[in-house]
Amino acid sequence: MAGRPGHMEQINTGASMQKEDAVAQTLRADGIFISGGEQQRLLASIGGSKVHETMHQAFQERGACIGGTSAGASAISRHMLAYGTKDLLPNKNSAQLDVGLGFLQHVVIDQHFSERHRLARLLSAVAQDPDVIGLGIDEDTADAPAALRNVLALVTEI
């Protein structure tokens, strides 16, 4: 996170999510990157915290860039894949959705998409809520939604 150009600060999850210095760092950040791990653990640490509120404030008021890798990418959306099976065919019990951090609306993101053969899981998630777009991402993939234009730009290495 930025306090001055080219400066990065790390905020660890847990009790620091409520501390005023972490809130101040988040509020002045131009970019916020959420690491991987496990989606539900990330949400348990970040979700509903002062830092989470401040992330939304930085995003909405100043246009801070929000990004993540692996579980961090999946947690960015409002609809988050919390659990999924390794079924090769869609099944109504293949995916369980939970509430994510809420930066992307009407999108559910599944990571390690091709590598872990997650098409059936993502299709099952979208079938639970047909108003969402399923977005499968892999290594070297980024998405840049333009909320005002209903456009999604996908950047990937070929």
Residue 120 to residue 94: CA distance in whole angstroms: 7
**77 catalytic per annotation:** no
Q: Which of 9, 38, 53, 139 is catalytic?
A: 139
Does 7 qualify as catalytic in the annotation?
Answer: no
Query: CA-CA distance, 55 to 77, in Å (whole number)?
Result: 13
Nearest to 43 by CA among 85, 22, 18, 71: 71
79 is catalytic: no
Range 111-118, long-range pairs (CB < 8 A, 24+ positions): 111/36, 111/69, 111/70, 111/71, 111/73, 111/74, 111/137, 111/138, 112/70, 112/138, 113/137, 113/138, 114/138, 115/139, 116/86, 117/86, 117/88, 118/84
Q: Which of 49, 70, 77, 124 is catalytic?
A: 70
Q: Which position among 16, 52, 56, 112 bears the catalytic label?
A: 112
Residue 20 CB burial class (10 angstroms; 0-12, 13-18, ≥19): exposed
Active-site residues, by number, are: 70, 112, 139
